[in-house]
Amino acid sequence: MSKIVSRAGRPRSFDQQVALGDALDVFWRKGYEATSLDDLTEATQLSRSSFYAAFGSKRELLLHAYRRYADAFYADMKALADEHEDTDVALRAVVRALVDTRPDDRGCFCVNAIVELAPSEPELAELGRAHIQRMCALLEELITQRGTRRPVARAQAATLMTLTMGSAVFRKASVDEDTLKFVQKQALGLLDLA
């Protein structure tokens, strides 16, 4: 933890990871373009100068937030898969987690950022591709463990990621839970796991 000066001029502890999480929440709720520097300094409790010293810029902060979210998301899905010895049970658990049916108007942070910014932000687009490829590789590995040939497993993994990302957009648009459950059932049906 480092010490920085707060707006009131008093030294206080600063945990960059906590501030990054606070900023991620703001970006997630509002989107990148609608998030102002004032929103970010308020959420992180940093002065503007301390914000720039810690994160560089709003854009750099978003890229850090994206990496953090994508890494945590992958780690959660890998841990979920590793909880189960039976491959079908592991795959079913991961697919259900990916095609979440709970209402959530925030959607998926990665999907939101890709949709909003990838066309104009090549670095974010690359981070998005890397995240998708890593998730596809996890799904592909689970599918091949069932005895599915790798080219078929690769295609099924890509299809599952397409359904996953589409369902995240549905959730952000507040599509009803029954529709999301239908999408989840279709995703499981693709693997004969419904």
User: Which tens digits make up the pLDDT trace of 58-81?
Assistant: 999 999 999 999 999 999 999 999
- Total Cβ atoms within 10 A of residue 12: 13
pLDDT at 120: 94
pLDDT of 9 over the 50 cut? no
Tokens of residue 186, six digits:
């279709």
Tokens of residue 80, six digits:
């979920």
Domain ranges of the chain: 64-190
Query: What are the start-end ranges of the H helices in 31-149?
Result: 37-44, 48-55, 58-82, 87-98, 109-117, 122-144
Tokens of residue 180, six digits:
């999301």
Residue 133 one-letter amino acid: Q
Query: Cα–Cα distance between 105 and 19 in angstroms, integer?
Result: 23
Backbone angles phi, psi at 57, to 5 degrees: -160, 170
pLDDT at 1: 40
User: Which tens digits make up the pLDDT trace of 86-109?
Assistant: 999 999 999 999 988 887 788 899
Q: In CATH, what number does 64-190 get?
A: 1.10.357.10
User: Which tens digits make up the pLDDT trace of 163-187?
Assistant: 999 999 998 888 999 999 999 999 9
Closest CA to 181 of 189, 107, 135, 173: 189
The pTM for the full model equals: 0.87
pLDDT at 143: 97
pLDDT at 5: 41
Residue 118 one-letter amino acid: A
pLDDT at 13: 61
Checking 85-90 for CB contacts under 8 A at 24+ apart, the result is: 87/142, 87/145, 87/146, 88/146, 88/193, 90/142
**What is the separation, in whole angstroms, between the first and last Cα of the chain?**
48
Tokens of residue 170, six digits:
């549905």
User: Which tens digits make up the pLDDT trace of 120-155?
Assistant: 999 999 999 999 999 999 999 999 999 999 999 999
Tokens of residue 31, six digits:
């989107």
